[in-house]
Structure 1
Amino acid sequence: MLTGKHVVFLGGDARQLEVIKRFIELDAQVSLVGFDNLQTPLSGTMQREWNTTVLEKADILILPIVGTDDQGNVASVFCSDNLTLTRKHMQALPKGSLIFTGMARPYLTQLCAEFDIHLFELLDRNDVAIYNSIPTVEGALMMAIQHTDITLHHANCVVLGLGRVGLSLARVLHAIGAKVSVGVRCPDDIARVFEMGLIPFQIKQLEQHVSHADIIFNTVPALVVQTSAINKMQHDVLIMDLATKPGGVDFKAAEKRGIKALLCPSLPGIVAPKTAGKILAQAITTLIDEVMIKEGLEA
């Protein structure tokens, strides 16, 4: 239980609603900022204006999965007002308070370090990223079906990267009968792709593996699908970039050739916000438990 703990939610999307519900269940005092346009108000919460006062007695601040941008702006689909996390806001937080977000840009990281605030990036946790790969893969398959006129079964699919999302995606595509090639960088991943019964290749050799591709899925957060490779693709190929913005695809080069290229960030929040929110809620409460246990031992 989190009785007596003051938790402030600043912005976010439908995923945050599941996290909020979990904190209500745990008897926390919950303040909401940037949730003015909720169709159904959440009982057990307080709508608050965005100012330093709301943070002065906060134990926990929960930001959206994308955190802030480089200027401290925070996005919320439930509010039309601009929300910006500034130095004054951070200074108002009690020392030792906790901030949770999916990922943090240097702006947020530096402010937390300056004001002695504990920052937790949920997507850095391997368990969260693996759980999150499930709705990501389902969303990728849904969009691939919507944007092609072929079946995924027997389609020539190229997956770039064998991280948490790439591994899950390659496995599912193979299971539904697609012909799957996987572009990787290290020898260990080459061996793993081979062991899975798929076709491995070095990403630097991408140009040699795209001429017959029907769908290319990129999961690498660096520019790997460049003009040289795009020029060797079929005109009706579909490129789907699942990596963090700005992605790993030269979208201008794709547009110039008339190739459909889609940037698909935050798929869990779009296709399965309830499941994605429960994943985040479990991770946050687990981390809070760990912090509380540690504080108890140190005391």
Structure 2
Amino acid sequence: MLTGLHVAIIGGDARQLEVVRKLIELDAKLSLIGFDQLDHGFTGASKEQMDEVDFSTVDAIILPVPGTNAEGLVDTIFSNEKVLLSEEILANTPEHCTVFSGISNSYLEGIVSSTNRKLVKLFERDDVAIYNSIPTVEGTIMMVIQHTDITIHDSNVIVLGLGRVGMSVARTFAALGAHVKVGARKTEHIARIKEMGLTPFHLSELDKEVCDIDVCINTIPHHIVTSSVISKMPPHTLIVDLASKPGGTDFRYAEKRGIKALLAPGLPGIVAPKTAGQIIANVMSQLLLELLQHREENA
């Protein structure tokens, strides 16, 4: 149980509602910021404005998956109010206060560092990323079906990257009958792709591998699908970029060439927000239990 733990949940989308439900079950004290337009009421949680929260008693701050923007503003789809997480607010929290976010940026890293608080990036954890790859794959399948006029079965698909998402995407599209090639740089990834019964190639050869593809799925958060690569693709190719913003595709050149390119980060929150929220909630509850135990041990 999380009795006695004060958690501020700031902004977010439908995924955060599952976190709220889970933490209420565990008897945490919750301050919900950026939820004033949410019709659903949560017994045991209070909707508050940023300036109404006593941050000197807050043990943990939970941000949405994207964290903050470059100016410190937090996405709040359940409110029209702008919510800013500032250095001043963090400095007012107890020294043990931990900030949880899906991903991070230089602003968030900066204020956490300057206030000597701990930041936990959930999407850098293997368990979260692997569980999250399931709705990501389902969302990718949905997008490919919606934006092509061919079946996935017998289509030519390239997957870029064999990370936690790339592996799930490649395996699933192959199971659906696609001819899957996977691009990677590490020799161990090349070996794993071969072991999986798929066709491996080194990413340095990418522009030579795209001449006959129907779908290109990128999971690499670097500029990898360049204008040079896109120029070699057939005109009907669909590019689905799953990397975090701004993605790894030259979208301007793709549009100029008439190739449909879709940036699709955050698919779990779009196609399966309940499941995606439960994944985050289950991990969050365990991390908060550890935080509470650590706090009590050092009290």
Taking structure 1 as the reference length, what is the TM-score of the superposition? 0.97
Shift of 1:30: 1.0
Q: How does 1:113-262 map to 2 (within 5 A)?
A: 113-262=113-262
Distance in 1 between residues matched to 2:280 and 2:247, nearest whole Å: 23
Distance in 2 between residues matched to 1:69 and 1:127, nearest whole Å: 25
Distance in 2 between residues matched to 1:235 and 1:37, nearest whole Å: 45
Distance in 2 between residues matched to 1:298 and 1:78, nearest whole Å: 37
Superimposed CA distance per residue, residues 6-59 of structure 1 (whole angstroms, 9 cap, x where no aligned partner): 111100000000000001101111111101121322232111011274422211
Distance in 1 between residues matched to 2:186 and 2:281, nearest whole Å: 34
Partner of 2:8, secondary structure, is: strand
**Is 1:79 matched with 2:74?**
no
Structure 1 range deviating more: 269-278 or 116-125: 116-125
Partner of 1:47, secondary structure, is: strand
Match of 1:2 in 2: 2
* Contact 2:2–2:289 (CA under 8 A) maintained in structure 1: no
* Contact 2:98–2:119 (CA under 8 A) maintained in structure 1: yes
Distance in 2 between residues matched to 1:142 and 1:112, nearest whole Å: 38
Distance in 1 between residues matched to 2:137 and 2:90, nearest whole Å: 36
Partner of 1:269, secondary structure, is: helix
Match of 2:46 in 1: 46
Letter in 1 for 2:238: L
* Contact 1:33–1:49 (CA under 8 A) maintained in structure 2: yes
* Structure 1: gaps (5+ residues): none
Match of 1:31 in 2: 31
* Contact 1:160–1:184 (CA under 8 A) maintained in structure 2: yes
Distance in 2 between residues matched to 1:296 and 1:34, nearest whole Å: 30
Structure 1 range deviating more: 29-38 or 15-24: 29-38
Distance in 2 between residues matched to 1:53 and 1:293, nearest whole Å: 24
* Contact 1:52–1:88 (CA under 8 A) maintained in structure 2: no
Residues matched between the structures, number = 299
Match of 1:56 in 2: 56
Partner of 1:159, secondary structure, is: strand
Letter in 2 for 1:176: L
Match of 1:277 in 2: 277
* Contact 1:223–1:248 (CA under 8 A) maintained in structure 2: yes
* Contact 1:7–1:30 (CA under 8 A) maintained in structure 2: yes
Letter in 2 for 1:19: V
Superposed CA RMSD in Å reads 1.3
Distance in 1 between residues matched to 2:53 and 2:36, nearest whole Å: 18
Cα distance, 1:296–1:30 mapped onto 2, change above 3 Å:
closer
Shift of 1:295: 4.6
* Contact 2:2–2:292 (CA under 8 A) maintained in structure 1: no
Structure 1 range deviating more: 255-264 or 50-59: 50-59
Shift of 1:87: 1.6
Distance in 2 between residues matched to 1:68 and 1:29, nearest whole Å: 23
Distance in 2 between residues matched to 1:32 and 1:288, nearest whole Å: 17
Q: Percent sequence identity over matched residues? A: 48
* Contact 1:183–1:200 (CA under 8 A) maintained in structure 2: yes
Distance in 2 between residues matched to 1:141 and 1:255, nearest whole Å: 22
* Contact 1:216–1:237 (CA under 8 A) maintained in structure 2: yes
Superimposed CA distance per residue, residues 96-127 of structure 1 (whole angstroms, 9 cap, x where no aligned partner): 11111101112112211222222111011111
Match of 1:96 in 2: 96
**Is 1:292 matched with 2:289?**
no
Taking structure 2 as the reference length, what is the TM-score of the superposition? 0.97
Partner of 1:51, secondary structure, is: helix
Shift of 1:294: 4.0
